[in-house]
Amino acid sequence: MAAIQLYCPFCGQKLSIETEALRAQTTCPRCAKGFVPIDAIPRDQTLPAIQVGAAGGVGAPSPPAEEKAASSEAGPLAAQVKTIMLPPNGGPLPFAPGAVRPAAPSPAPEPTLDGPTLIRAAPPEPAADAPEKEDALAATVPVDPPAAAEPKPLEATVPAPPAVETTAPAAPGDLPPMTSDGLAATVNAEPESPPAIPPPPAQTPAAGAISAELAGRASTLLGSVNASGGGKILGFEHVALVAALAAVLSLVLLAVTNAFALRAIGGFFGTISLAAALLAAAAFWLVRSRKDASALQALSRPARRALIGGVASSLVLGAAIMGGVAAATGGPSELLRAEHMPPPKLPPKPELPPEKRADYKLKREGHVFVNGGLLHVPPRFRSDDGEFDLYMHFHGNTQLVEESVAAAGVNAIVYVVNAGNGSGPYEDKFSVAGVLDLTIEKIQDTAKKQGLRDARVRRVALGSWSAGYGALAKLLDVTKNVERIDSVLVLDGIHAAYLDPKAKTVDPLRLAPFTRFAKLAAEGKRLFSITHSDIGGTKYASTAETADALLREVGAERTAAQATPPRVTTKTALAAFNKGAQDTKLEQTTEGKKGGLHVRGYSGQTPDQHMAHLVQMSVTVLPELAERWK
């Protein structure tokens, strides 16, 4: 039974259709669309002969009984070849001028041909000097000589389907020459495969066909998952719900954490989860809306493109949403630091019995001389594990400094150095390399001898009043010291030479140690608190002028301020002033602040107002240190 190869007009699938089914409705196994095969064959193609059935099927009507009898008698010509002469270029048979068509003999019964039919094209007119051909059939029809070179004779064999009977009247002269056994020459040829019909022009499937393909593939995937899961019903709506929940959890993670690793993990899984939720929702809609979906073996190219585009779009959309949330939240600082949300309260440390604390046997009274200074342990000092903070003050009444540290609530051991008048003695003493490390090491050893178990310094703060800034200038000029120093407190005491006395330009080299520390403080890495008065008229830069230079170096501006620090009531502070000057107070006029750098300007040009910076340190700079070290 012969078959025809053609292509589905909807999806281009190559199909093989039996000749008997060319006019029957056929369904494409790929796109599930129905069509009539013969309508899909291009009109410029030629179909092979269709088998003639015994009961009058497709093809020519059955021959009459007489012809059947005659054909049955022509048995010797069975499986022979019928030869028909055609002109070289097609068209009607040509005749030579003046030639008379011979009379056709009476029709004879057409023999039954079971073999293939040979169609032979007539050769061109031979040349004058060519030998005469002996083919009698070629000479039966005279031909006009061609005007130009003609193509070579063409022969085409058209195989006949099995069990096909073809009868056609033929003149005796049209039969091939007889062999010695009385049979015509036989041309045996193997049946060729059915002629391949070229595919129709590529057609883009409609949107409905693409959605039907995607719905079919989604149904197949869902069915295989349910089959492997023991028959449990799992739908795309469940996948979408779980993926959406995972995306919400990822968004919460982005909103409540500022750790880079956690935010990266949350962003990645949030993008994947959100894309999966979108794809599962789309698959759920396709399966529910497309009732004509069928299981397919492979997706068409447009359907694959649509699937890839959907996945890519979902990922891009998920990444955009997660990126927007990450940029909007910026970690937990925006949420957890809101004004309506108080900071979390840390549980208090368990109270240790006095006998288990490191300071249980520590001596707290009196002073101990250490490397040119006096070491004092305040009455309220406490250390559970032996670590302690150290406040080193240069120039000032020792008792006043100790009382001020205790009044401000600074939990630290106090070390006070008084080297003499002017900044020179302090510069000379603390310009020695390693002097700070040596002093701290001796203080630790002294604390151990005083009864502090496992004594070791944790943080160091330097403070000075008036000429004591000379020690700070030398200590802050060493990088190793700066790495160990946490805070610096200066009370009306930074002076420097003029680079240009007329223009009153402060020498940047003399101010460089303070400038470097001020930049660290402006970045929030250190505490640098400065107070100054309006005392001027000297041959070197005043404390107000040096403070202005530091503010300019860090890009901070000074603003007007009006504030009066509370009056101190300690015994030594009240006795520090001359009689009648107890009511001397600091009157603040300006302020400049950036990060950990804090500059406060106070009015006054008298010695008592200069001393007020030291007397009132417990209510100006020391509270900042106590707050930082809590």
Mean pLDDT across 360-377: 94
pLDDT(162) > 50: no
pLDDT average, residue stretch 247-259: 74
Tokens representing residue 76 in the block: 């010797």
Q: What is the pLDDT of residue 330?
A: 57
535 and 461, same structural domain? Answer: yes
pTM of the model as a whole: 0.49
Chain position carrying tokens 């059939």: 137
Predicted local confidence at residue 74, as pLDDT: 45
pLDDT of residue 629: 95
Domain-located, residue 192: no
pLDDT reported for residue 230:
54
Nearest to 438 by CA among 421, 454, 415, 418: 415
Of 277, 307, 302, nearest in space to 204 by CA? 302
Which pLDDT score, from 0 to 100, does residue 274 have?
A: 75
Same domain, yes or no: 573 and 442: yes
Higher pLDDT, 185 or 280: 280
pLDDT at 527: 97
Provide the pLDDT for residue 44: 61
Q: Does any domain span residue 73?
A: no
Q: Are residues 424 and 289 in the same domain?
A: no
DSSP 342: P
Angle between helices 301-329 and 236-256 (to 10 degrees): 30
Q: What percent of the chain has pLDDT over 90?
A: 36
Which has the closest alpha carbon to 518: 547, 496, 481, 560? 547
On the question of pLDDT at 297 being above 70, the answer is no
Whether residue 548 is found in the same domain as residue 447: yes
Q: Tokens 């030594």 appear where?
A: 572
Residue 569: pLDDT band (50, 70, 90) is confident
Distance CA 426, CA 11 (A): 96
- Which of 310, 336, 362 lies at the terminal end of a domain, its last residue? 336
Residues making up the chain, counted from first to last: 630
Range(s) of the domain holding residue 26? 3-40
Q: Does residue 611 carry a pLDDT above 70?
A: yes
Residue 137 has pLDDT above 80, yes or no: no
Q: Residues 173-198, buried b or exposed e (16+ Cβ, 10 A)?
A: eebbeeeeeeebeebeeeeeebeebe
Residues 404 and 514 in one domain: yes
The reported pLDDT for the residue numbered 109 is: 54
CATH number at residue 582: 3.40.50.1820
The pLDDT value given to residue 411: 96
Same-domain check for residues 156 and 224: no
Residues 458 and 590 in one domain: yes
pLDDT the model gives residue 415: 98
Cα angle 365, 367, 368 (rounded to 5 degrees) comes to 125
Q: What confidence tier does 246 reach under pLDDT thresholds 50, 70, 90?
A: confident
Contacts of 605 (CB under 8 A, 6+ apart): 533, 534, 535, 536
Specify the pLDDT at position 468: 96
Rounded distance, CA 380 to CA 410, Å?
9
One domain for residues 484 and 548:
yes
Q: Are residues 495 and 579 in the same domain?
A: yes
pLDDT at 270: 75
Q: What is the pLDDT of residues 274-288, one digit of tens each?
A: 777 777 777 766 666
348 domain residue, yes or no: no
Mean pLDDT lowest among 227-236, 485-494, 583-592, 616-625: 227-236
More confident residue, 204 or 623: 623
Residues 550 and 599 in one domain: yes
196 belongs to a structural domain: no
DSSP code for 71: H
Q: What is the mean pLDDT of residues 289-295?
A: 50
Amino acid letter for position 40: A
Q: Is the pLDDT of residue 463 over 90?
A: yes
Residue 85: the pLDDT is 47
Q: Is residue 72 part of a domain?
A: no
Q: Which of 307, 336, 365 is the last residue of a domain?
A: 336
* Inside any domain, residue 115: yes
φ, ψ (nearest 5 deg) of residue 456: -160, 140
Q: Give residue 233's pLDDT band: very low, low, confident or very high (50, 70, 90).
A: low
Within this chain, do residues 413 and 502 fall inside the same structural domain, yes or no? Answer: yes
Residues 285 and 359 in one domain: no
Least-confidence region, from 155-164, 213-222, 292-301 = 155-164
- The answer to whether 147 and 92 are in contact (CB under 8 A) is no
Task: Kindly report which listed range (126-130, 392-396, 514-518, 593-597) carries the lowest average pLDDT score.
Answer: 126-130
**Average pLDDT score, the chain:** 74
pLDDT tens column, 314-331: 777 777 777 777 676 654
Q: What pLDDT does 409 receive? A: 94
Residue 603: what pLDDT?
A: 92
* Residue 488 contacts residue 465 (beta carbons within 8 Å): no
* Residue pointed to by tokens 């223009």: 503
- Phi and psi, residue 458, nearest 5°: -100, -60
Domain count, the chain: 4
- CA–CA separation, 625 and 124 (whole Å): 120
Strands (E), 337-430: 368-370, 373-376, 387-394, 412-417
Contact 568, 616 (CB under 8 A): yes
Q: Give dist(CA 16, CA 330) in Å, integer.
A: 64
Residue 181 domain-assigned? no
Q: Catalogue the long-range contacts made by 423-428 (C-beta closer than 8 Å, 24 or more residues apart).
A: 423/467, 423/468, 423/469, 423/470, 423/473, 423/495, 424/470, 425/470, 426/394, 426/395, 426/467, 426/468, 426/469, 426/470, 426/471, 426/474, 427/470, 427/471, 427/473, 427/474
CA distance 522 to 245: 45
Helices (H), 330-434: 333-336, 398-408, 424-429
Of 408 and 228, more confident: 408
Backbone angles phi, psi at 501, to 5 degrees: -60, -35
Phi, psi of 624 (to 5 degrees): -65, -40
Tell me whether residue 199 is in a domain.
Answer: no
